[in-house]
């Protein structure tokens, strides 16, 4: 069985689920550096937008990004 790259795993997740955040990336895909994967996907021509989210955590306010794919690379 061929192992896929983290970038490919993130891309497949986005195609199926539309959005991804760092906790989903870590828990579901084992991707620790989601922002780096998103950066490389953007360099490859994918249009991905970032939404900043703030939530109240146990020890104060937490901020994180949620990424959404808008369009795929045109061949």
The answer regarding whether domain 6-71 maps to CATH 3.40.1350 reads no
Digit-coded pLDDT (tens) for 16-63? 999 999 999 999 999 999 999 999 999 999 999 999 999 998 899 999
CA atoms of 59 and 44, how far apart (whole Å): 38
- pTM to 2 decimal places: 0.84
Domain definitions of the chain by residue range: 6-71
Tell me which H or E stretch contains 69: strand 60-71
Look at residues 43, 47, 53, 49 and name the one whose alpha carbon lies nearest to residue 23: 53
Which pLDDT band holds residue 2 (cuts at 50, 70, 90)?
A: low
Helices 6-17, 34-43: inter-axial angle, 10-degree rounding: 80
Asked whether residue 1 carries a pLDDT value surpassing 60, the answer given is: no
């Amino acid at each position: 069985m061929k192992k896929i790259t983290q970038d490919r795993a993130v891309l497949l997740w986005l195609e199926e689920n539309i959005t991804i955040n760092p906790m989903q990336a870590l828990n579901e895909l084992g991707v620790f550096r989601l922002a780096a994967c998103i950066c490389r996907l953007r360099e490859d021509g994918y249009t991905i937008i970032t939404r900043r989210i703030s939530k109240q955590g146990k020890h104060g306010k937490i901020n994180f990004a949620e990424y959404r794919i808008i369009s795929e690379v045109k061949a």
